[in-house]
Chain A
Amino acid sequence: MNMGPARYRSGSHVRVWQVYGTGYLRESWKRHPEASLSTPRANPCVAVFALCAGCFAPFEHDRHDLVDFRIIGLQVSNAAPAPGESLRARALVYGDHGFYHDALPSLSWQLGGTSATGPWVDLAAPDASGWWDLALTVTHADGLTTESAVLPLLVGADQSPIVPPRLPPVERGVIPLPLDSPAEALLLDERLGLPVSPSAWVDVGQAARVRLPLEDPGDLYSARWMTHDARGTFLELEPTTADWVPGTLVLDAEDLEVQVEDALEPGLYSMAVMAMDGQGANAWAFLDLSLEQPTDGDDDHAWMEHDGRLFELPAPAFEGGLYRVTLVADDASAWGVSLEDPQPILVDDPSAYDQADLAGCEHPMPTRAPLRLDLLAEGHCSRQQLLGARVTMAFTHPIHTWGDAR
């Protein structure tokens, strides 16, 4: 009796993720003008009746939306190891309110007959060749909620390793795609033709275009774009490029009108992107997009970028660099923290590597390198354990925009 999941659309309003399908449907309509615009199938028996559209109330969120405790991705140092090879595994876990955890979840790993716990673990590949599942169980701090994940590994000799890519910074640009655009404007072909302007800020009447400029001569990689707290709408354009619209798009499939709900207010919006090759070479990155150019307080401050995240800091006397900052709680931020009392320091300043305040983390944190906020999302340290810590962080300036990497 298992036919698998099947979904329909009614003629009435549907949520934004339907835009993809409808865009595709509309595209089909353009090729075949006589095609139906009302309902796609899953069940042809129902679809043959003009009135008999099988429907269901669409789910509130799809995989682009980060809203709940969830495993975003797994990474292993080599997804095609030799028998007995030592592997390092890590995971990205979205917390209750963002890319951090007030109380750390427990990460339990298993591979073959070995097991380990922790955010970064070293495991040995099984001695026998073949497919083996690297399994992860993440238990929320409440002890009740668990999430599970599996990454199949192909263990065997004489094969090329499958290693995660090093991700370059995400490029930002803007395109002229107003929120109230007609449905046709959302089609792939139409959006491909839009000009892209390098910009870190998205103004009214614009949408952002983001790109992961991977060196990918084999076209192996695709990107999964995800938005914190389901803010905004991603519309994929190419395997590692997507457009982001600052609002929730609602499509009236009958009239092919796009309506906007929850148009976003000016401010910063946080995202994550995961690059995947379909074989287990996964890597992730983060970024902030700003809706409307933020007002600089004065000429002494500048917006700077920390691994894709945007922070306003005192303008440095040089490009980018290290800063000593104090981490304070910020529930409005996807990262969970704001930076106070930022002080630029030179690379050869002895205090640049004073990360003693990280010693309180539950899992070992690198103490001789600038702090990376990724480690919060990966479960090395809870936010609580970092609040008030005075740490060194690295920033770049200017913010990466379209074409920077090329």
Chain B
Amino acid sequence: MNPLLLALSLGAALGQQPLEPGVPVTPESGEEQPLVRITGRIMDRQGLPLAGAWVTVGDHPQHTRSDADGTFELAMPESAGPSIEIHISLAGFDERIVQQALPPAGELGVVMRSGDTDGNAMGEIVVEDTQEAAAPIAHALDREQVELTPGTHSDAVRLVQALPGVSVTREYAPGAGGLAIRGSGPDEHRLYLDGVELPYLFHFRQFTSVVNTGLLEELTLYPSSFGAEFGDATGAVVDARTQALTPDKPLVGLDVNAIMAGGLVRAPLGRDLYLSASGRRSYMDWIIGGGSGQYTVWPVFWDAYARLDHVPDPDHRTALTALAASDYWERLVREPEELDPVEALAEPVLAYRHQYLATSLVRHDASQDFRSDGTLALVLDRWPAELQEHWQDRREGNLQLHQDFVWLLRSDLHLAAGVRGRAERVLRRASVDQPWPEVVEEAPMLARGLDVDEHIDRLRAGAYTELRAELGAWRLLPGMRLDHDTLTGAWSPDPRMGFKWRPTPEITVRGGLGRYSQFPSSDALSPTAGDPSLPAIRSEQVALGADGLIKGRLTLSGDIYAKQLREMVLETPGEPPLGGVEGRALGAELGARYRIRGVFFFWSTVSLSHSQRMLDQQWIRYDFYQPLTLGLVASWTFRPNWNAGLRYRYGAGFPYTPVVDGSYRADSDSYEPILGERNASAMPIYQKIDLHLEYRWELDHWRGAVYAEGWFIPGRANEMYPVYSYDYDQETFVFGPHFVPILGVRGELY
């Protein structure tokens, strides 16, 4: 059904009479008055149309809703005044109030920003299909979905793992924090927070992400074949945006769960300035005290975020942000079970630390026909490790620039352009006289056993342009991107093309294709421990999808994709990088989603995937090969204060290289594993069911929430990774619990 007709019928159902332009109003006096046409277009932050937005005028009864292309038209009597207040509201976005002079000088352009959904009235029916993701191949989550998706535990990266096309990883197993998406592994993706790429996203590589979902305004996953806006990535792009918080009064909050405790504070400072800050820290080290068994110092992590916003109006925002994270532990190099009591006393201790600080200046400007979003960031990262007299120290400082422009040339033609830049200096130093393979994850330079003393200076820059044209039912997005890297000397011109076609209001066909490039990491290019001759990685990708809206509520979607990769770099910690690797992936995804905003949302996915790498002249299963995954998420706010959620994940087990035997080392009286055929074995099937129940309340000057989650991991799905006997003659699996209860409480004073 045409949304406008639907809107009109809804308006009738609500007892209001919409106004048709050009039709004179007959006031109560019975005299006709001349009308003035007011036209406008409602867009999202990226300049794409928003349909279904309610447009009302001050105290006047006139109202209308934006059409599929975001346009609206009102007719106001001339006598309404020299100017009127136009109110634009749309679920999921902050309400806009715009002063419009009469008669209008031209078409009104309104940019809506995502907002809190708490204010939505219960039972409001929102035509969900009119909310379109900005790009043809993308999955977007808004605030409600970010907050209420079960099993993600306020963890932004786990949230991404709930999306279609993302491989299912075993909770708390090695690699649990890694994102494998459409046949590409963690090293092939780019993850941005407000345009800034962070050194690491997961505490201890698998535990909890450094970004609290409470900070996020929206999160978009581009699984493959993304547009020209992003570069230096052959995998996926995760683009997370934090909220510009504009509290009208101070607020203090506390959040405690089974893993960590944190607090937040938000306050208006006057003169359109707003401050928000939050911090979290693990606390198990306080409970345990000191060390225990393997850990001579129990693992500690914390992260903190602060921002100062200047928001004179919604179209002009400046924010100064700072995000810091830290991980630290000390542990015996070998595990106590491998050591006899005498060895345990003499066993060396590894002190591991990784911490960074990312500060940024974020600026947003928008006008009727222009939008600008820019981020300038400074990231300082330090990664030291000590083991007896051996040590390593990796320090990186980089300056990042991320600037996007969108010109609204016409209502049906936008031009986007932008630049990216990253200037970095990496200091790599290590003093070690033997390899320490036991610490390969925490201290790769110590694992290699190579003395290193070098610095690497590097500049990566990119620029892009993309046209966004609406041609009837078609939206075309041709783009071009050019990247350059001073370290490899490579230039990467990457043409891209995206499209959407809506033959009917209920059906959308979308697709994207293009060339993609990625430069090897600075460590892979190290003259001491890497290979400076590694070229840029190249990839050609294509993706095609279709969405169908059924009965105005249920959306069914299907996607297929394919990619090939060349000149990939295989970086195995503790070993020199291997270049020239080829890769390929293809797959299909089916999905369904349904939503009543503020009440209920549901999505489910089925993904089939095939991904390989060529090693030793043969194609082998990729490390994150997962031929079948299933996912289901449902969240239901069944009473005003109560929410229940369910998430189910199913994934075939990742392959792994089995150990077939052990070789005895006569100097150290130990065994070294003899590996079998690469990725010849596979972990058991993984399944996880998350149940979530939350109760919220709000009283005078404070509100809170208490929640309980239960994680169920049936059967052999709780097997996390293999372990071997001392001589590698036997294999078994470390298994976690079948059931994990989690309790948490949040409170805010305002």
State yes or no: do A and B come from one complex.
Answer: yes
Q: Could you tell me which A residues sit within 8 Å of B by CB distance?
A: 1-9, 17-18, 20-21, 23-25, 28, 31-32, 34-36, 39-49, 51-57, 59, 61-63, 68, 70-71, 73-74, 79, 147-152, 188, 222, 224, 234-239, 274, 276, 278-280, 282
Q: Mark B268-312, 1 if CB is under 8 A from A, else 0.
A: 000000000000001010011111111100110000000000000
Closest to A35 in B: B292
Given contacts A5-B724, A42-B335, could you give 18 more A-B pairs where the C-beta distance is less than 8 Å? A4-B441, A7-B338, A18-B337, A20-B339, A21-B293, A25-B292, A40-B335, A41-B292, A44-B207, A52-B736, A54-B734, A54-B735, A56-B734, A59-B730, A62-B726, A149-B665, A234-B340, A237-B342
Q: Which residues of A contact B174 (CB under 8 A)?
A: 1-3, 43
**Most chain B beta-carbon neighbours within 10 Å: one of A21, A45, A51, A236:** A45
| B654-A28 in contact (CB<8A) | no
Please, could you name 23 A-B residue pairs with CB atoms under 8 Å apart, sorted by A? A1-B654, A4-B440, A5-B723, A24-B336, A24-B341, A34-B289, A35-B290, A43-B734, A44-B207, A44-B295, A45-B206, A48-B259, A48-B282, A51-B740, A54-B735, A56-B733, A63-B727, A70-B727, A71-B664, A150-B672, A234-B340, A236-B341, A236-B342
User: Which residues in window 397-456 of B have CB below 8 A to A?
Assistant: 437-438, 440-441
On whether A280 and B667 interact (CB within 8 A), knowing A44-B298, A239-B342, the answer reads yes
| B664-A55 in contact (CB<8A) | no
| A48-B736 in contact (CB<8A) | no
Q: Which residues of B contact A8 (CB under 8 A)?
A: 734
Q: Which residues of B contact A74 (CB under 8 A)?
A: 664, 666
Q: Which residues of B contact A4 (CB under 8 A)?
A: 437-438, 440-441
Q: Which residues of B contact A2 (CB under 8 A)?
A: 174, 440-441, 572-573
Expressed in whole angstroms, the Cα–Cα distance for A35 and B344 within the complex equals 17
| A32-B291 in contact (CB<8A) | yes
Q: Which residues of B contact A68 (CB under 8 A)?
A: 729
Expressed in whole angstroms, the Cα–Cα distance for A321 and B738 within the complex equals 65
Partner of A34, one of B288, B572, B623, B669: B288
| A55-B299 in contact (CB<8A) | no
On whether A56 and B735 interact (CB within 8 A), knowing A23-B341, A32-B289, the answer reads yes
Q: Is B474 an interface residue (CB 8 A)?
A: no
A63 to chain B, nearest CB (A): 5
Q: Which residues of B contact A282 (CB under 8 A)?
A: 666
Closest to B722 in A: A5
On whether A150 and B665 interact (CB within 8 A), knowing A20-B337, A45-B172, A46-B172, the answer reads yes
Q: Is B204 an interface residue (CB 8 A)?
A: yes
Closest to B729 in A: A68
Q: Which residues of A contact B299 (CB under 8 A)?
A: 41, 44
Closest to A282 in B: B666
| B289-A45 in contact (CB<8A) | no
Q: Is B190 an interface residue (CB 8 A)?
A: no
Q: Mark B720-750, 1 if CB is under 8 A from A, else 0.
A: 1101111101101111110011000000000
B202 to chain A, nearest CB (A): 10
A162 to chain B, nearest CB (A): 10
| A3-B725 in contact (CB<8A) | no
Q: Is B1 an interface residue (CB 8 A)?
A: no
Q: What are the 4 closest A-B residue pairs judged by CB atoms, nearest first? A: A40-B293, A74-B666, A236-B340, A3-B174
Q: Which residues of A contact B486 (CB under 8 A)?
A: none
Q: Which residues of A contact B172 (CB under 8 A)?
A: 43, 45-46, 52, 54
Expressed in whole angstroms, the Cα–Cα distance for A174 and B437 within the complex equals 40
| B667-A278 in contact (CB<8A) | yes
Expressed in whole angstroms, the Cα–Cα distance for A234 and B340 within the complex equals 9
Q: Which residues of A contact B298 (CB under 8 A)?
A: 44
Partner of B669, one of A48, A236, A274: A274
| B573-A6 in contact (CB<8A) | no
Q: Is B663 an interface residue (CB 8 A)?
A: yes
A184 to chain B, nearest CB (A): 13
B347 to chain A, nearest CB (A): 10
Q: Which residues of A contact B284 (CB under 8 A)?
A: 44, 47-48
Q: Is B348 an interface residue (CB 8 A)?
A: no
Q: Which residues of A contact B725 (CB under 8 A)?
A: 59, 61-62
Q: Which residues of B contact A35 (CB under 8 A)?
A: 288-292
| B740-A7 in contact (CB<8A) | no
**Most chain B beta-carbon neighbours within 10 Å: one of A25, A44, A147, A148:** A44
| B336-A20 in contact (CB<8A) | yes
Expressed in whole angstroms, the Cα–Cα distance for A20 and B176 within the complex equals 31
B624 to chain A, nearest CB (A): 9
User: Which residues in window 342-388 of B have CB below 8 A to A?
Assistant: 342-345
| A25-B258 in contact (CB<8A) | no
Q: Which residues of A contact B727 (CB under 8 A)?
A: 63, 70
| A236-B343 in contact (CB<8A) | yes
| B723-A6 in contact (CB<8A) | yes
User: Which residues in window 162-186 of B have CB below 8 A to A?
Assistant: 172-176
User: Which residues in window 533-586 of B have CB below 8 A to A?
Assistant: 572-573
Q: Which residues of A contact B721 (CB under 8 A)?
A: 3, 6
On whether A41 and B293 interact (CB within 8 A), knowing A1-B656, A24-B341, the answer reads yes
Partner of B663, one of A61, A148, A280: A148
On whether A237 and B724 interact (CB within 8 A), knowing A36-B292, A40-B292, A44-B298, the answer reads no
**Most chain B beta-carbon neighbours within 10 Å: one of A21, A51, A224, A234:** A21
| B293-A63 in contact (CB<8A) | no
Q: Is B65 an interface residue (CB 8 A)?
A: no
Closest to A55 in B: B735
Expressed in whole angstroms, the Cα–Cα distance for A35 and B342 within the complex equals 21
Q: Which residues of B contact A36 (CB under 8 A)?
A: 288, 292
| B337-A21 in contact (CB<8A) | yes
Q: Which residues of B contact A17 (CB under 8 A)?
A: 337
Q: Which residues of B contact A41 (CB under 8 A)?
A: 292-295, 299, 331
Closest to A44 in B: B299
Expressed in whole angstroms, the Cα–Cα distance for A99 and B661 within the complex equals 22
B384 to chain A, nearest CB (A): 19
| B293-A148 in contact (CB<8A) | no
Q: Is B192 an interface residue (CB 8 A)?
A: no
Expressed in whole angstroms, the Cα–Cα distance for A235 and B176 within the complex equals 37
Q: Is B329 an interface residue (CB 8 A)?
A: yes
Partner of A235, one of B259, B341, B441: B341
Q: Is B618 an interface residue (CB 8 A)?
A: no
A299 to chain B, nearest CB (A): 42
Q: Is B668 an interface residue (CB 8 A)?
A: yes
| B666-A54 in contact (CB<8A) | no
Expressed in whole angstroms, the Cα–Cα distance for A31 and B284 within the complex equals 18
Q: Which residues of A contact B667 (CB under 8 A)?
A: 79, 151-152, 276, 278-280
Expressed in whole angstroms, the Cα–Cα distance for A120 and B67 within the complex equals 91
Closest to B672 in A: A150
| B288-A150 in contact (CB<8A) | no
Closest to A4 in B: B438
| B664-A34 in contact (CB<8A) | no
Q: Which residues of B contact A62 (CB under 8 A)?
A: 725-726
Closest to B259 in A: A48
| A53-B664 in contact (CB<8A) | no
Closest to B291 in A: A28
| A237-B290 in contact (CB<8A) | no
Partner of B732, one of A42, A59, A73, A238: A59
| B343-A25 in contact (CB<8A) | no
Closest to B290 in A: A32
Expressed in whole angstroms, the Cα–Cα distance for A388 and B252 within the complex equals 90
Q: Which residues of A contact B674 (CB under 8 A)?
A: 148
On whether A31 and B290 interact (CB within 8 A), knowing A4-B438, A54-B736, A56-B735, the answer reads yes
| B341-A56 in contact (CB<8A) | no
B107 to chain A, nearest CB (A): 54
Expressed in whole angstroms, the Cα–Cα distance for A74 and B663 within the complex equals 12
| A24-B293 in contact (CB<8A) | yes
Q: Which residues of B contact A21 (CB under 8 A)?
A: 293, 336-337, 339, 344
Q: Which residues of A contact B664 (CB under 8 A)?
A: 71, 74, 147-150
On whether A44 and B337 interact (CB within 8 A), knowing A8-B734, A149-B666, A238-B342, the answer reads no
Q: Which residues of A contact B342 (CB under 8 A)?
A: 188, 222, 236-239
| B292-A188 in contact (CB<8A) | no
